[in-house]
Amino acid sequence: MVPVGNRPLLWHIMKLYAHYGHTDFILCLGYKGDVIKDYFRNYKWNTSDVTLQLNSKPNVTYHTHHDEEHWTVTMVDTGLETQTGGRLRRVLPYITDDTFLLTYGDGVTNSNINASVVFHHQQGGLATVTAVRPAARFGDLVVENNRVMAFKEKPKESSQFISGGFFVFHKSIGDYLTDDATVLEQSPMTRLAAEGKINAYQHTGFWQCMDTYREQQILEKLYVSGEAPWKVW
């Protein structure tokens, strides 16, 4: 719920999915889940011009229309201490399709969501992860015999791929989720890799997580300047 511009990061992520036609959302709630519930319950009220009749039968007229009016948002209390795999396990009963999308609430990208879905079906695996190259944070030292032979400024991006989230899963992922303590990125992903059932959709464009205040400021500056790469809508 940390804001970028005048909207929480969660909203930006949902707008990205909605741009590609995915507007049926399930939110895994935990700490401060009530804040998220209040945000969406009062969404129309807080984002619209309104007329309120203050009589014995108060009536509200909304004058503003939003693209978000066709969203469906299911909010599920998945516990305070539940791990990532456990949270997914708890919301599986609310998922009706065999294939579904999943991501974290702390990162944005300009990756083509639908292209990753097509890739997922082409590869025939059980899971697809969007592989990204994060921005490099440090410069490189070339050291020989304790002497610095060269200093290279930090490159724009790392040479290594990491998991950027924005997964595509088959619902049978539930077979790999045992309990609330299951960490999705540990045993389930390790097993899927060993079985050859997880594929990487490689995205070399923009991706940025927001784990620190510094990263929030990076996204804020991009958004208010009108140069946010993830704002594809």
DSSP state letters, 185-228: TTHHHHHHHHTT-EEEEEE-S-EEE--SHHHHHHHHHHHHTT--
pTM of the predicted structure, to 2 decimals? 0.88
What are the extents of the domains in the chain? 3-50+63-224
What CATH number labels 3-50+63-224? 3.90.550.10
The pLDDT tens digits for 153-195 are 665 655 688 999 999 999 999 999 999 999 999 999 999 999 9
pLDDT of residue 56: 84
pLDDT of residue 91: 98
pLDDT of residue 154: 60
pLDDT beneath 70: ranges in the chain: 136-143, 146-159
Nearest to 98 by CA among 74, 75, 121: 121
